Structure formats: C-alpha cells, structure tokens
Amino acid sequence: MDAPRWIRTISELTLLVDRLSSAGSISVDTEADSLHHYPGKLCLVQIADDTGRAHLVDPLALPTLGPLGPLFANPRIGKVLHAADNDLSYLKRLYGFSVASLFDTAVAARFLGVKTLSLDGLLRTYLGVEAVKSRQKDDWSRRPLTAEQEAYALDDVLHLFELRARLRDELRAKGRESWVEEECAALAALEFPDKVADPDAYLNLKGAKDLDRRGWAILRELWQARESVALALDRPPFMILGHEALVTLAGARPHTLEEVQAVPGCSARVIQRVGAMILEAVTRGEAVADDELPLRRPAPRPHVPAATRRRADQLRAWRAKTAHVLDLDPGVLFPQRLIDRLAAEPPRDLHALARVEGVRRWRVDVFGRELLEMLAVT
C-alpha cells in the first residue's frame, strides 16, 4: 500500500516511514512561518524518494513527527536538502532529530564558486528548470493549501536529486567532493539550542543610542510589553508596533492617546489594540528609580598582540590569493573565525592543526603545511 500524498495521521506517517526505509536517498524541505506567527512554527515537511514520489507531512495535524527520526538518523539513506540550516533547526529543536549522510546543495554550490546560491538560481543554471512562483510570504499554517502552494512545496524536493547529481559531477571534476562531504557532516552535527532572549536587545534598536537613560527605561518597558502582546496574539512583534515607533515613543513619553497617535507608526488601529499598553509602559518607565535606570556597557576591546596581528594579516593575504586562484569566496575557503583562532594560538604541527575546531581534514590535507609555515611567523 502506497502512502498518500498528504500525511496527517500517525498510521499514514508510519506507512510512509516503512516505505522510505528502503530508499537510497530522500530529499527534504520544510515550510515554516515566522512572518505571520510568533514564535515561528513548522507548518509543513516535504519528503520525496529517489523514485520521484513526494509527500506532504503536516506537523499541524500530527501529534509528533517522531516516527521520522530513525529515517533521518539512518546513515544508509542519503538526505538531500538545500540550505539546510533552518530546516535542521526546526527538526532538531522540536523533535530531537539527528541527521546522517546529509548533502546540502547550497554548500556544494558554495564550494564550486557559484555566485547565485538560491535554489531557483541553481535549478535554472544546472537543470534549465524555471521554478514555480515563490510562495515564501504565504501563511503556511492555513489549511487547506491551494493547488499553487502544493505545487511550490513539492517542486523543490522533486528536483533536488538531479541537482545533487550535477553538483557532484562538478565537485569530482574539481577534486572537491570530499570537502563538501566533510562540511555537510559538520552541518548535520550542529546543535540548535533554544534561543535565549537578550534582555538588553532594545538598546540595539536604531536610534536607541540617542535616548537618555530614562528613555532607555521607557524603551525597555515598551519592548517587554510588545513582546507579551505578540506572544498572546501569535503575531510577530513588528506587526504589533514597529521598532522605529518604539524608539520614538520612548523619546516622546506620551501621556495621552492623542499624543501617542501623533507618533509615526501609531495608527488608529495601533491605538485601539495597544494604546493603553503604551501609556502604561511609559508610566512604568518613568517610575523607575534613578539608580536602577539601564546602562549601556560598551564591550571592552580585547588587546591583540602584535605577533597575532601579523599572523592574521599573513593568513588574510594568503586567503585572498588562494581564493582567487580557486574561484571561491574567501569566507568559504577560510572563514575569519579560523584566521582568528590560528593567529591567536598557532598549532605547531599537522596533528595539532587538525584538532583546531572548524579547520576540517580537507584544509589540513590541501593547505596544512602552507598554513604552518605562515603561522611560524612571530
């Protein structure tokens, strides 16, 4: 019995997993929504096998996606995704998935020096396929999906196998297939812990630095009040009240709804929804004791020894030259974080170089001795 296109029950999901367990590869994509909901939610998982059968798994109808876990963890089954970071973030954080045998077409394209990394661009360049009209701004939590949305959702996963084949051929021709395999394995192993809210995030809003400390106290109250409303209404904070309006309100300190409405971005609808909240937040901010007003604490600038700077300069010059020869983005060839680590604590041999977090075996094999010579500079 074949699994249906739409997977909305555990029995259907179990049937799908049973059938996909014999596949050589599966392709996966997700549709999440952070434009219409807060916090963002996973609304759809698209899965296809290498025979061309595709399915739409509905996380909003299913109590869990747990039965898919062993499929993603099975190293015998390849997983093909494009720009997998966001997909993996949802699947790992929400369901605790682990992932083996990942091939990310965006990672592969980066290591081929491709300039246009969107899936639409890659499909056009490598397969001559024009993708269906983008539906990225749709509310994917709405049901039923339209025929156009279904076509968009299925389009990506159905082309990923052929795209992988074309990219692999080119990687092999350039001798870079092992590079991508290692980078994809590192991506698959990434952990995605729940984000911890920064209590001082409001101080980073554009224009916040121009407020005094009392203004910061009011801005903090406005920020926190907007966050509470956003969570209660399941709407992104910017849809409740824009960042610029928050900062302007903190500077204006309105005490009446008429004064609130005079602030750009505070429409009649905003007044109706959160006018009282704004006034209450302003009152709370004005009541904060002087010795409890927020402080902006500039991050101290670390002292960088001269030898470290020289090593970093040497690595950057080498990176620019080598990236040009290989036709790669310098940040793909050798990210700045690696330059900082190696320049600060230069390894003395290839074994030590291979142990540096993020260096990868392929960089040691291809550039290791060259890097050690440069890092010997004092």
Q: Of 229, 227, 232, which Cα lies nearest the Cα of 202?
A: 227
| Tokens found for residue 53 | 């059968």
CA distance 232 to 229: 5
Q: What pLDDT, on a 0 to 100 scale, did the predictor assign at position 107? A: 98
For residues 274 and 323, membership in a common domain is answered with no
For residues 171 and 88, membership in a common domain is answered with yes
Taking all residues of the chain, what is their mean pLDDT, rounded to a whole number? 95
Q: Which of 159, 189, 219 is the last residue of a domain?
A: 189
CATH number of the domain residue 323 falls in: 1.10.150.80
Residues in the chain predicted with pLDDT less than 50, given as ranges, are none
CATH number of the domain residue 183 falls in: 3.30.420.10
For residues 240 and 336, membership in a common domain is answered with no
CA distance 359 to 353: 7
For residues 114 and 44, membership in a common domain is answered with yes
The pTM of the full predicted model, rounded to 2 decimals, is: 0.92
For 148-203, the pLDDT digits (tens) are 999 999 988 999 999 999 999 999 999 999 999 999 999 999 999 888 889 999 99
For residues 183 and 327, membership in a common domain is answered with no
With contact defined as beta carbons under 8 Å apart, do 347 and 359 qualify? no
Q: What pLDDT, on a 0 to 100 scale, did the predictor assign at position 1? A: 55
Long-range contact pairs involving 317-320 (C-beta distance under 8 Å, separation at least 24) = 318/370, 318/371, 318/374
CA distance 244 to 172: 50
For residues 101 and 180, membership in a common domain is answered with yes
Q: Is the peptide bond before 300 cis (omega within 30 degrees of 0)?
A: no
- Establish if 143 belongs to a structural domain: yes
Q: What pLDDT, on a 0 to 100 scale, did the predictor assign at position 62? A: 98
At 8, is the secondary structure helix, strand, or coil? Answer: coil
Q: Residue 28 is part of which domain span? A: 6-189
Number of domains into which the chain is organized: 3
For 140-155, the pLDDT digits (tens) are 999 999 999 999 999 8
Q: Which of 232, 261, 292 is the last residue of a domain?
A: 292
